[in-house]
Chain A
């Protein structure tokens, strides 16, 4: 076991991990932050997306030991300071951007990473950015609408509607 220390949602945390401990396991099992979901555990689905030093990564495909010293942000750190939903989360609620909700933490974290780099993405850019986030309910249209709304843009009519 080796000791790792990192900042998670602004708070310094540390714990003992094995070499093989995944960042997703450390967050969920050591830190009790179960908002980071493990869907496929094979790097495909993106339910486990968190931010490490500002970049979106799949927490199930990174070792906790590699996050030693890093700044990690998870879905639990997304709400506003008063506990209200942030702009992206509120947009997901307003536009029914979730059905079962399992993929939502990863979707919100990917959306946040996209809007940080590209504050006014086109609909196609949103869809391209979500390439690695799978919604098993196939609710993509409303997820894209929510992210467009969160970016302050008009919500497009979708071809399938």
Chain B
């Protein structure tokens, strides 16, 4: 690793000020960033550690809405249970030691194309709350590792509407424990949202045809007649684009069957 300074702000205001430094980089749990730094793929001058910001910790439920602080760990979300499909998703990210460090804000800010949380945020129609504004999930994810965040902007919380029924089905890539393909299905009173991770070169995305079919008939059979194009899907040594296209449909069906 190249060397850097570490700032440990105690408030969002202090964190935002620290992010104003030249070449500053926010540090959530570091479970992706620290390995990236070890490979010298990034060379920030300052890391702004967000784990100590009390306002960014914890989970609060307000009716059918769940607010999760940006520095909340996967382990804490897994243990919460207010939104069962989300807690189940968090309980299968990485491994226990990773879940004790990694944070929801860090995951969403990185927007890895195979990460789990982006699928939950997009399928749930979550709101990404930052130190300066609120961003709808539909506007937030802008491609592989690309988000609507501005330079220095910090995810302070994420607000999830809790659906009537939901499930995340993940086909695990066993070496990395990321999703080879993961599908999050969320059923709300006004329709169904389906988000796919791990599959596309564009990163997490919604599957509109499945949403329409499932909004009319929320059963696994409702998507039988649909097919997924392999165009622009990820192809690597773990699976071809056609294989991932197949998995998207299979995982969606399983997620619908398991939704509760």
Residues of A within 8 A of B (CB): 2, 18-20, 22, 41-43, 46, 49, 55-58, 61-63, 65-66, 68, 110, 113-114, 129, 131-133
Q: Which of B5, B31, B37, B96 contacts A110 (CB 8 A)?
A: B96
Measured between beta carbons, the chain B residues less than 8 angstroms from A131 are 95-96, 177
Task: Decide if A55 touches B75 in the complex (CB within 8 Å).
Answer: yes
- When C-beta atoms are compared, the residue in chain A nearest to B175 turns out to be A44
- B1-33 residues with Cβ-Cβ distance < 8 A to A are 1-6, 8, 27, 30-31
B153 to chain A, nearest CB (A): 22
Measured between beta carbons, the chain A residues less than 8 angstroms from B51 are 66
Q: Which of A18, A19, A132 contacts B97 (CB 8 A)?
A: A132
A-B contact pairs, 14 of them (CB 8 A): A19-B3, A19-B4, A19-B6, A20-B4, A20-B37, A55-B75, A61-B30, A61-B34, A61-B101, A63-B30, A63-B34, A65-B8, A65-B49, A110-B96
A2, B177: Cα distance in complex, Å? 35
A56 to chain B, nearest CB (A): 5
Task: Decide if B49 touches A66 in the complex (CB within 8 Å).
Answer: yes
B37 to chain A, nearest CB (A): 7
Encoded as 1 (CB less than 8 Å from any A CB) or 0, chain B from 192 to 213 comes to: 0000000000000000000000
Task: Decide if B95 touches A46 in the complex (CB within 8 Å).
Answer: yes
Task: Decide if B98 touches A43 in the complex (CB within 8 Å).
Answer: yes
- Is B100 engaged at the interface, CB distance under 8 Å to the other chain? yes
- When C-beta atoms are compared, the residue in chain B nearest to A18 turns out to be B3
A66, B48: Cα distance in complex, Å? 11
B156 to chain A, nearest CB (A): 19
A19, B2: Cα distance in complex, Å? 9
Task: Decide if B95 touches A57 in the complex (CB within 8 Å).
Answer: no
Task: Decide if A42 touches B3 in the complex (CB within 8 Å).
Answer: no
Given contacts A2-B6, A43-B31, A131-B177, contact A20 B1 (CB under 8 A): yes
- Is B191 engaged at the interface, CB distance under 8 Å to the other chain? no
Given contacts A20-B3, A63-B6, A65-B8, contact A56 B96 (CB under 8 A): yes
Task: Decide if B97 touches A49 in the complex (CB within 8 Å).
Answer: yes
Task: Decide if A58 touches B2 in the complex (CB within 8 Å).
Answer: no
Measured between beta carbons, the chain B residues less than 8 angstroms from A133 are 95
A131, B24: Cα distance in complex, Å? 33
B14 to chain A, nearest CB (A): 16
